Structure 1
Amino acid sequence: MSKDDESRLMAVELAKRLLVDAIWKTASIEVDGISFRDTQEIFEGRAPANMAVDDIIVVNNIKRAWMFLLENVDQPVNWQYMSEYNRILGEGLIRDAGKLRTNDVRIGGTDWIPELPTMESSHDGISSLMKIESPEDRAHDGEPCAHQRRRRSVLHKPIPETRIHNQAIALLRVER
């Protein structure tokens, strides 16, 4: 086994061990007041008392998205990959989850309205992002995610939570 393969395997194993913590940190951006204990309960298949169904769905979708990342760490990042990732995140919450955004979105705290993406601009953005050699630099340079409420916006940078997932992709994709 090569050193790169060993590093990749170690990164995947570490990510799996830290999965509940990563899910909780990601979910805390979406679900006001969620605790680590609530996240652990949902991760184990139980619904915390007095938690909204949509909040439970958010946490489960984030869990499923992390599992997708871990199971597909060696797959190329392309439109199909990102579409499926975003479909998982938005399932049961967002109409047309995983599809290209066709309506305007607003970003809280600003008057800026991102341009509507095109298939061409999305492919170009993913391609340019994947040309960045360093996985760490790639994780900080862009967020190739289709619109999913506050979580996602096609090749759009102001949403810090998406960096968590990009860092997971980048760090697990140790140089081949």
Structure 2
Amino acid sequence: MLFNRSKSYDDIIPALDVKKLIMLVKKLLPDVVFNMASLEGNPFTYPEVQTLLDGITIGGHKVSDEQQIFSIRNAWNYLFDLVYKNDLSLDTSSLYSIFNKFNNIVAKDEALISGIFRTGQVRIAGTDFIPPRAEELESIFKNELPQLIERCKSKTELAFEIFLWGALNQFYYDGNKRTSRLVSNMILILNGQGIFNIKAKDRLQFNTLMLEFYNTRKADNIFEFLHSNCLEIY
């Protein structure tokens, strides 16, 4: 299902150099991984994430929490590979495969099935909103994504709309926001528009605005928050 939004957002002109942007993001990867994991309730601190990604084991944590850190790191490395190849096509067929690949990376140890659309109903905690039925998901992806691409006037709009659209429809049993955020970042980086990084310190505001979005399907408030607080330009 789609949602409503009234305000427009322009791209950065001139666009950032993509190779330099990737180099900067790689240097900041522990921060990006930490923030993404923190939104999932992962207890690893930033220094612990930094140490773990340097190859040093951290004691006192569940194996599942450690694996989640590595999975997010691996998904970002896949993102970098996609952008480096520079042969991406933002069409429905290509994005379908990319969505599934990202989900398979980030959710394979957390969900009963990953990398394919869910086969049963799910709920979102804290809201009465009910995501689409499983049998509707293929049709929603195929029919709505072209509409979403068409209505976005900039790649920045497209990146954030894809994130919200993926979170709203809950295509997978788990990892929906991580999956959609990685696709969003792929679009932003590919087009030299910065990166999408929700800070751990903004978790309460983000969660509150997302619940409002689920309940109303009105995206103006969450969209403004994402653009003002989560779009990092280097």
TM-score band w.r.t. shorter chain? 0.7 to 0.9
Q: CA separation of 1:57/1:141 partners in 2, compared to 1, >3 Å: closer, same or farther?
A: same
- Tell me if structure 1 keeps the 8 A contact 2:101–2:115: yes
Structure 1 runs, 4 residues or longer, greater than 4 Å off: 161-164
Give the direction of change, closer, same or farther, for the CA distance of 1:70–1:10 in structure 2 (3 Å limit).
Answer: same
Could you give the per-residue CA deviations for residues 119-150 of structure 1, whole angstroms, max 9, x where no partner exists?
2212334333444341211122132374253x
One of 19, 24, 27 as aligned partner of 2:37: 27
| 2:172 is equivalent to residue 147 of structure 1 | yes
SS at match of 2:17: helix
* Corresponding residue to 1:128 among 137, 147, 169: 147
Identity of matched residues, %:
21
Greater relative CO (CA pairs within 8 A, separation 6+)? 2
1:7-65 CA distances to partner (integer Å, 9 max, x unpaired)? 11122112111111100110111234320111112212333111111111111110011
Which has the larger share of helix? 2
Q: TM-score, normalised by structure 1?
A: 0.80
**In 1, Cα distance between equivalents of 2:62 and 2:146:** 38
Show the counterpart of 1:98: 115
Deviations 1:45-100 (A, max 9, x none): 33311111111111111001111111102323411111111101112221221101
The unaligned stretches of length 5 or more in structure 1 are 153-158
Give the whole-Å Cα distance in 1 for the aligned partners of 2:104 and 2:179. 15
Is the Cα contact below 8 Å between 2:156 and 2:188 reproduced in 1? yes
Alpha-carbon spacing, 1:96–1:32, altered in 2? closer, same or farther (3 Å): closer
The answer for the alignment partner of 2:8 in structure 1 is none
**Kindly tell me: are residues 26 and 14 of structure 1, through their superposed partners in 2, closer, same or farther at Cα, counting changes over 3 Å?**
same
The alignment's TM-score, normalised by the length of structure 2, stands at 0.62
Q: Quick one: structure 1 residues 18 and 48, their matched pair in 2 at CA, closer, same or farther if it must change by over 3 Å?
A: same
8 Å Cα contact 2:103/2:179 also seen in 1: no
1:8 corresponds to: 18
Instruction: Tell whether 2:137 aligns with 1:118.
Output: yes
From the superposition, tell whether residues 94 and 174 of structure 1 become closer, same or farther in structure 2 (CA, over 3 Å). Answer: same
CA RMSD of aligned residues (A): 2.6
Residue 6 (structure 1) shift: 7.1
Q: Which residue of 2 aligns with 1:155?
A: none
Contact 1:79–1:126 at 8 Å: present in 2 too?
no
